[in-house]
Structure 1
Amino acid sequence: MWHADVSHLPVAARSAQWLARMSPQRHLHPDFGPSYGAQPVPYGIPVSVVSGRHAKVTVSFRYAAESDRVAYPLGRDTQIEGGAAAPGDRHAVVVDAATCRLYETWDTRLVHGRWSAGSGAMWDLRSDALRPDGWTSADAAGLPILPGLLRYDEVRAGHVDHAVRFTTDVTDRAHVWPARHDAGSVSDPRFPPMGARFRLKVGYPLTGLRPDTRAVLQAMKTYGLILADNGSPWYVGGIADARWPSGMLDELKALPASAFEAVDESSLMRSPGSGRVR
């Protein structure tokens, strides 16, 4: 699903309605980059890579009924979004390189030696299986976070081959494939559902931009953005990395939200329970 080409898909029937309610006067905001103020770590979602020998712990979940009740490879070496004392979403994303499993938690905390989180999910990176319908993950849409994050190395190489995770503030109490969960504040189809896919319009000019900016924007034309969580409008996800160049971030911030359109991705679905596309 993350690697599906959506440049040829028809515009969604409610595209104009959704965009009108998603602060179209705003600009894209890269939710990653250098840290400012008191934050001790780079801005963005960090990723921890561990070996199969890493110790695993039991995590207590606030939304236990929709969380994977497995042992998670968390420890003092686990990087938490914003730092160990941060407010906010406090995502933890951990990849077990030996087993090709991805562990993600939200509102991750270690207090008096005990781990807790709002919710958690484990993904087999060799499988296309989605979560049970109605289950959240570490994101409100019930999708994995890691595949939708921009990564410094791919951007620098000039080749981003996947859709990008993004957020908006008001969503419908509904979700569309490939999302499995919703957490909207309104029951109104004029607002976008979780899982809605947006793409940068084909005619948006890329000339005169930095090569790294062009790589990101071309991915947004080809693979698009997937609405994955509630948050600030048009915030796009990236891995926390001190190397992100300010010049690229500034050019991304100049991209108007009005340059996007929603697409109908229903024709890509092979099975409701799978992220594999036609």
Structure 2
Amino acid sequence: MTTAALGVGAPLNGSLPFPADNAWNRDISQAPVDPNSANLISTIGLTRGLHPDFGSGLYEGAPIGIPYVVVSGAQAKATIRFLAYGDESDPGPYPVPGNAPIEGQRPDGASFDGDRHVLVIDRDNNRLYELYRAFPQTGGAWDADSGAVFRLDSNTVRPGGQAGWTSADAAGLPIFPGLVRYDEAATGAIRHALRFTVRQSRRAYLPPATHAASSSTDPNRPPMGMRVRLKASYAIPAQFSTESRAILQAMKTYGMLVADNGSDWYISGAPDPRWNNDKLLSELGSVKGSQFEVVKMEGLVTQ
């Protein structure tokens, strides 16, 4: 990722995490539909519209979405202390700046709760570092519940990880590759799968996910890592904004992966002052769950 800029929300300038044949970047538009697709989609919601969980401005005092920062290979590495899932985390140190943006962080400095994700891309070494429930400490160290390191230049994505491990994400997936980013959407083309959440999941996962986050064994609930695709029959309206059209086309070509428990059909993205919230909400919200289908699931792991 040598062409990426540096800083918070920096553009990647066309650079793509992971090789072209990686699961995140694979064209699945012609893949077969799963036999249980109708039941799985019904569980998520047939009449509920897509919801962009990202945008411009503030919501409840914090930027809308999951922020990230791009650093150089010279970024000093910080000590990371894991408080909850250390046995499933990649050990530090991580090159996390002391002022790295934290999901949910308010500009006024008020305390806040939530997932508190921190995402750091080391541009020069092609590494992605992600933390869940991260808290900066004096002296530059960080406390976090869990963390993961991903290779962005290889299909051996997480050499230190194992099947059954979580990451900074409930599904054991990297978060950053599935984010909707303005710098991509504004070009009219997003060339990777997206990340979304569901309210009810199953105690199972589907590669590239490595972790489940439910006690339910109901086969009609989606497992972590399940991929959905916007149906080919859905015609993307020509009057939609460039950004919304790019997002919806990515859902047709690459699909979306179930990555966490949350609200149904919530699409993850990075905050950016250039997003038009009204257009995102109205245009994406008009696309209902019934317009999606589940790509055939192969390699399902039950826990």
Given the two structures, how large is their TM-score scaled by the length of structure 2?
Answer: 0.83
Amino acid at match of 2:189: H
- Verify the 8 A CA contact 1:9 1:264 in the aligned structure 2: yes
How far, CA to CA, are the matches of 1:261 and 1:37 in structure 2? Answer: 31
User: What per-residue deviation string (whole Å, max 9, x for no partner) do you get for residues 215-244 of structure 1?
Assistant: 111110111010111111111111121111
Is residue 289 of structure 2 the alignment partner of residue 257 of structure 1? yes
How far, CA to CA, are the matches of 2:142 and 2:184 in structure 1? Answer: 33
- Verify the 8 A CA contact 1:167 1:232 in the aligned structure 2: yes
Q: Which residue of 2 aligns with 1:164?
A: 194
- Verify the 8 A CA contact 2:244 2:284 in the aligned structure 1: yes
Q: Which residue of 2 aligns with 1:46?
A: 67
Q: List, as ranges, runs of 4+ consecutive aligned residues in structure 1 with deviation greater than 3 Å.
A: 35-38, 111-114
How far, CA to CA, are the matches of 1:67 and 1:222 in structure 2? Answer: 32
Amino acid at match of 2:65: G
Q: CA RMSD in A?
A: 1.9
How far, CA to CA, are the matches of 1:111 and 1:187 in structure 2? Answer: 40
Q: Which residue of 2 aligns with 1:94?
A: 120
How far, CA to CA, are the matches of 1:38 and 1:16 in structure 2? Answer: 36
- Verify the 8 A CA contact 1:33 1:249 in the aligned structure 2: no
Given the two structures, how large is their TM-score scaled by the length of structure 1?
Answer: 0.91
Of all paired residues, the percent bearing the same amino acid is: 46
Which of 70, 78, 81 aligns to 2:100? It is 78
Is residue 236 of structure 2 the alignment partner of residue 206 of structure 1? yes
Amino acid at match of 2:186: R
Which of 122, 144, 158 aligns to 2:149? It is 122
TM superposition shift of 1:18: 1.1
Is residue 199 of structure 2 the alignment partner of residue 178 of structure 1? no
Partner-residue secondary structure (3-state), 1:90: coil
Structure 1 stretch displaced more, 4-13 or 78-87: 78-87
Gaps of 5+ in 1: 273-278
User: What per-residue deviation string (whole Å, max 9, x for no partner) do you get for residues 161-183 of structure 1?
Assistant: 11100010111100011111111
Gaps of 5+ in 2: 1-22
TM superposition shift of 1:187: 1.7
- Verify the 8 A CA contact 2:186 2:243 in the aligned structure 1: yes
User: What per-residue deviation string (whole Å, max 9, x for no partner) do you get for residues 131-181 of structure 1?
Assistant: 311111111111111111111011111011111000101111000111111
TM superposition shift of 1:70: 2.1
Is residue 45 of structure 2 the alignment partner of residue 23 of structure 1? yes
Q: 1:210 to 1:38 in 2, by over 3 A?
A: closer
- Verify the 8 A CA contact 1:6 1:265 in the aligned structure 2: no
How far, CA to CA, are the matches of 1:261 and 1:234 in structure 2? Answer: 13
How far, CA to CA, are the matches of 1:265 and 1:147 in structure 2? Answer: 21
Partner-residue secondary structure (3-state), 1:165: strand
How far, CA to CA, are the matches of 2:46 and 2:145 in structure 1? Answer: 31
Partner-residue secondary structure (3-state), 2:205: coil
In the alignment of these two chains, the number of paired residues is: 268
- Verify the 8 A CA contact 1:3 1:163 in the aligned structure 2: yes
How far, CA to CA, are the matches of 2:188 and 2:215 in structure 1? Answer: 38
How far, CA to CA, are the matches of 1:134 and 1:95 in structure 2? Answer: 24
